[in-house]
Amino acid sequence: MEQVHLTVLYERLDDLRAEAARHLATAQPAERAYWAGETARLDSVADGLCFGRVDLDDGSRLYIGRAGLFDGDEPLLIDWRAPAARPFYTATAAAPEGVRLRRRITTRGRTVVDVNDELLTAEAAGEHDLAGDAALLAAVSAGRTEHMADIVTTLQAEQDRIIRDPYAGVLVVQGGPGTGKTAVALHRVAHLLYARPHLRTRGVLVIGPSTLFLDYIGQVLPGLGENSVVTATIADLRPGTPVSRTASDEEARRKGSAQAAGELASAVRDSVHVPAEPVEVVFEQEALSLSPADCRRAVRRAKHAGLPHNQARLVFHREVVTALADSLAARLEAVTLTDTGEAIDGGDPDGRLSAADLRALEAAGVIVDWTDSAPRRLLDDTDVARLRDALLADARVQDALDGIWPPLAVAELVPGPWSPVDIPLLDEAAALIDGGDGTTYGHIVVDEAQELSEMAWRMLMRRCPSRSMTVVGDLAQTSDPAGATTWPDMLRPHVADRWELAELTVNYRTPAEIMAVANEVLADQPGFRPSTSVRSTGVPPLEVTGSLDLLGDLVARMPGRVAVITPQRHLAPVAHQFPEVVSLTPGQAKGLEFDSVVVVDPDAIAASGPRGRNDLYVAMTRATRSLAVLRTRQ
């Protein structure tokens, strides 16, 4: 019976796809992007189009899926993001929200292969802690691939709440490893794009810690029918910056601190020097003098313009040149002409003819009726404007002005060779100097947000004028020396109290046996809250002590997709020896997951720096099934 409805749904989808393809073929250029997007969306929702059904107390029945489909006004399929779909995720036997029956529908291609019913009646109350236990356990126990899958069929109530949270400021989602922070953030993006369509034009950006991570999560949003979201690392936001070294912890801390922004701002400010003495500016054989007072006034006006340095410099030029042109015009006017156009000498010490001179000249018949024409203006406004342009274009004038307000380049303020911690400084310098590239987004998601330095936050805030963000992270996993220790410290400078905290508490990735060992690593850390695993496997992690030679045997015993996580110094030899498995440092493993993980030399990882134990915790929480720990003998 579900097969009949599924067939109807796919027929409707096929009709819509055919229609979109027709439009795409004939669309005017302005509409082509829309139809291309629509075609991609309809293609991407086809897999697993319908996955659920709710039967309501009033006798109505709703099918839930990846897109909304209608037959005229009649809904055939409700988009999972629609308010009407919500009870599918949140209804429980204790609080059924008008739902009598929840059905999970498993399909392969266009065929229904399984249905699973839950009756939400009073008698069933108390039987289920987590919605759809069986479906959830099947999903979290499934083998992993190199790409994260969406969780739209098994979203849990605490996750659903965050996904649909209408809060428009900065929503921080804090939660232990494997609690679904990344998954929730991505589903929240899909929901935001559905609930606030204007975000499609303003753009959504997802920031992740590495290209590897972005690649891992890259299929989730397209699978939810959303193809327009930009994903990037912090470094990707300044493309074309060559990064050729790594920074020491001390350098990372220093350059990550917001103080670095103050230092850059001072450097830009201090590059402007108002001279104590008049500056001589030679223009077409005229020696003009720019007084410190004129200069100071021009600097002040340029600064008041509130523009980036290099643009404010043009205001300064205009102001100075106006003063220079006026004094040049005054000097030219001071040269009085005979009626045949020849200059005559004379005048008082400031270069102008005095009233007495003019009277004398009139008496001598050189000029007529001086009182009518005095003070004579030989140059009109257009002439003076031309003078200003000529002054502005003059190389010597420019040299003189550059001595006062020099043009700046980003690389002068933040000299290379650069490491990743220089990227936010280069961006800050660009903002101060020329305003940066001006790209902004309507919403930004920051994943592994605990790793961002104060300077990196500044960089993101510049790109999000609306301060609408979803920030997900776990302070217990911070490894960056300049990363967060508290959320208020990181966010308050930018949003004051316009942020909210939501928490996720259930670990869907890591079995209880692995978490028990991982939690020990941070047990004595103040404020550390161990998360609860949704399942156990009955298999404790394997602990082996010996040489690296044992690694081959360990790797061979691990089921599924295997990663070896090792301190940097073993990385190259391990990668060389085991090309068939993924070899990573703890930093590279951030946000990723595998069926099995072998952690090499845990003591060295823990001792690798002030946040080494956080790194070890990250490494030990990447496995969905099996963990082995190889301690090497010193």
Ligand X SMILES: Nc1ncnc2c1ncn2[C@@H]1O[C@H](COP(=O)(O)OP(=O)(O)OP(=O)(O)O)[C@@H](O)[C@H]1O
CB 561 to ligand X: min, Å = 12
- Check the annotation: does 92 bind a ligand: no
C-alpha dihedral (157, 162, 166, 172), degrees to nearest 10: 160
d(CA 175, CA 161): 14
* Count of beta carbons in the 10 Å neighbourhood of residue 616: 26
- The reply to whether 511 sits near ligand X by the rule CB under 6 A is no
- Check the annotation: does 176 bind a ligand: yes
Name the segment binding ligand X (CB under 6 A); options: 21-29, 63-71, 178-186, 458-466. 178-186
d(CA 8, CA 19): 17
Residue type present at position 570: H
* Count of beta carbons in the 10 Å neighbourhood of residue 132: 22
CB 621 to ligand X: min, Å = 6
Residue with Cβ nearer ligand X (303 or 535): 535
Residue with Cβ nearer ligand X (159 or 322): 159
DSSP string, 167-216: --SEEEEEE-TTSSHHHHHHHHHHHHHHH-TTHHHH-EEEE-S-HHHHHH
DSSP string, 221-286: HHHTT----EEE-TGGGSTT--B-----HHHHHHHHSTHHHHHHHHHHHHT----SSPEEEEETTE
Instruction: Give the DSSP letter of residue 218.
Output: T
CB 216 to ligand X: min, Å = 9
| # binding residues, ligand X (CB under 6 A) | 24
d(CA 7, CA 14): 10
- Rounded to the nearest 10 degrees, the angle between the axes of helix 309-333 and helix 395-404 is 130
- The reply to whether 450 sits near ligand X by the rule CB under 6 A is no
Reading the block at residue 395, the tokens are 């190389």
- The reply to whether 151 sits near ligand X by the rule CB under 6 A is yes
Residue with Cβ nearer ligand X (436 or 473): 473
- Check the annotation: does 415 bind a ligand: no
CB 446 to ligand X: min, Å = 12
CB 419 to ligand X: min, Å = 24
d(CA 52, CA 442): 32
Residue with Cβ nearer ligand X (400 or 627): 627
Residue from the set 154, 453, 470, 596 that interacts with ligand X by CB under 6 A: 154
Residue from the set 48, 65, 175, 208 that interacts with ligand X by CB under 6 A: 175
Residue from the set 159, 231, 470, 608 that interacts with ligand X by CB under 6 A: 159
- Check the annotation: does 241 bind a ligand: no
Which residues, numbered 341-400, are part of the site for ligand X (CB under 6 A)? Answer: none
Residue with Cβ nearer ligand X (458 or 625): 625
CB 178 to ligand X: min, Å = 4
Which residues, numbered 587-606, are part of the site for ligand X (CB under 6 A)? Answer: 591, 593
- The reply to whether 181 sits near ligand X by the rule CB under 6 A is yes
Residue from the set 52, 65, 96, 177 that interacts with ligand X by CB under 6 A: 177
Residue from the set 9, 69, 99, 155 that interacts with ligand X by CB under 6 A: 155
- The reply to whether 621 sits near ligand X by the rule CB under 6 A is yes
CB 154 to ligand X: min, Å = 4
- Check the annotation: does 180 bind a ligand: yes
Residue with Cβ nearer ligand X (183 or 288): 183
Angle made by CA atoms 465, 467, 418, in degrees to the nearest 5: 70
Name the segment binding ligand X (CB under 6 A); options: 133-141, 192-200, 345-353, 603-611. 133-141
Name the segment binding ligand X (CB under 6 A); options: 36-44, 170-178, 422-430, 482-490. 170-178
- The reply to whether 180 sits near ligand X by the rule CB under 6 A is yes
- The reply to whether 140 sits near ligand X by the rule CB under 6 A is yes
- The reply to whether 179 sits near ligand X by the rule CB under 6 A is yes
- The reply to whether 474 sits near ligand X by the rule CB under 6 A is yes
- Check the annotation: does 181 bind a ligand: yes
CA distances from 185 to 67, 162, 233, 503, 626 (A): 19, 8, 16, 12, 26
- Check the annotation: does 510 bind a ligand: no
Residue with Cβ nearer ligand X (140 or 425): 140
* Count of beta carbons in the 10 Å neighbourhood of residue 366: 16
Residue with Cβ nearer ligand X (174 or 241): 174
CB 520 to ligand X: min, Å = 17
d(CA 479, CA 179): 19
CB 453 to ligand X: min, Å = 19
- The reply to whether 139 sits near ligand X by the rule CB under 6 A is yes
The pair phi, psi for residue 626, each rounded to 5°, is -130, 140
Residue with Cβ nearer ligand X (50 or 288): 50
d(CA 361, CA 357): 6
**Cis peptide, bond prior to residue 349, ω within 30 of zero:** no
- The reply to whether 130 sits near ligand X by the rule CB under 6 A is no
- Check the annotation: does 179 bind a ligand: yes
* Count of beta carbons in the 10 Å neighbourhood of residue 579: 7
- The reply to whether 508 sits near ligand X by the rule CB under 6 A is yes
Reading the block at residue 214, the tokens are 């972005």
- The reply to whether 183 sits near ligand X by the rule CB under 6 A is yes
DSSP string, 383-402: HHHHHHHHHHH-HHHHHHHH
Instruction: Give the DSSP letter of residue 99.
Output: E
Angle made by CA atoms 594, 597, 603, in degrees to the nearest 5: 140
Q: Are strands 111-119 and 170-175 parallel, antiparallel or unpaired?
A: unpaired
- The reply to whether 480 sits near ligand X by the rule CB under 6 A is no
- The reply to whether 156 sits near ligand X by the rule CB under 6 A is yes
d(CA 56, CA 64): 13
Which helix (H) or strand (E) segment is 28 a member of?
A: none
CB 538 to ligand X: min, Å = 20
Tell me which residues touch ligand X (CB under 6 A). Answer: 136, 139-140, 149, 151, 154-156, 159, 175, 177-183, 474, 477, 508-509, 591, 593, 621
Annotated binding site: 175-182
Annotated binding site for ATP: 175-182
